[in-house]
Amino acid sequence: MELLFLGTGAGVPAKLRNVSAVALKLLQERGAVWLFDCGEATQHQILHTRLKPRRIEKIFITHLHGDHIYGLPGLLGSRSFQGGKEGVTVYGPKGLKEFITVTLSVSKTHLQYPLNIMEIEEGILFEDKDFIVEAKKLDHGIDSYGYRIQEKERPGPLLVEKLKEQGMMPGPYYRELKEGKKVVLENGSVINGVDYLGDSQKGRVVTILGDTRPCTAALQLAEDADVLVHEATFADGNEEMAWEYYHSTISQAVDIAKKSNAKLLLLTHISSRYTEEDGRQLEAEAKQLFDNCVIASDFLEVKVPLQTE
């Protein structure tokens, strides 16, 4: 599980930062990528990475401001032209379906894969045997959502040494035992994988918030998160401007991280007024408030480790 930032700027594209998009790479977990927001030129940013658009199976849009959605029609169309056949589900606020369908219709873009558009409300959006995705409405000028991606509890490690003590050396049975299944050996004896697994591993939590002022929903979504992605459009000292434009300052984002007990804070949606040198200074100031904090830059990749690592 890794996060790949494709755009970390706010409002308009800039030389230093493109507009909002972040990919959650779940290649080992499900062979797929989930994309959160898709600002203008997101597909251009993808060209500079190893990410394959055909791997994108879900797209979560936080809100319908242009710097978060203007790249979506192009990406959907290019994915089809590049041979993507597997279906895609796009989640987002009311109005998203009209935006996508009208744009594709007017441009005569015909997708070669099924597209499912789900206009959301607060609650559980998706759940399978491995993950739960929950959304809550944040405090912004238009409907803006935050997403909590929670991995379910993972089976414990296979106790290889214990198996070897029983005379069972590594082989094809190990995979089934790792899954907690029973296997029948050639001599007829039965081994239950459950008896050879260590303690289960707590699943990871990644919280990705859309544009927002500090609010209760942000705290709830970020509770005990392994990684919190929070906007920090303005530097400290600009609280009034942040409030007026429904955004957050760095220290306000840090406050959410501390109160929610998040382990790592990744700050994004940085105003284009800040230079690269400004960014280094802002990160230094942020670290004084919360040591495990990084101001994300375009193409930053962050691994979300298992809690045992």
Binding residues for Zn(2+): 63, 65, 67-68, 140, 211, 269
> Are the C-beta atoms of 303 and 1 separated by less than 8 Å?
yes
Among 217, 248, 256, 245, which residue's Cα sits nearest to residue 232?
Answer: 248
Out of 37, 67, 255, 298, the active site residue is 67
67 is annotated as an active-site residue = yes
Q: Are strands 115-119 and 131-137 parallel, antiparallel or unpaired?
A: unpaired
Helices 96-106 and 72-81 cross at an angle (nearest 10°) of 50
Amino acid at site 26: L
Count Cβ atoms within 10 A of the Cβ of residue 161 and give its class: 0-12 exposed, 13-18 middle, 19 or more buried: exposed
Q: Is 192 helix (H, G, I), strand (E, B) or coil?
A: strand
C-alpha span between 220 and 217 (Å, rounded):
5
| Residue 180 phi, psi dihedral angles, 5° rounding | 80, 15
Catalytic residue list: 67
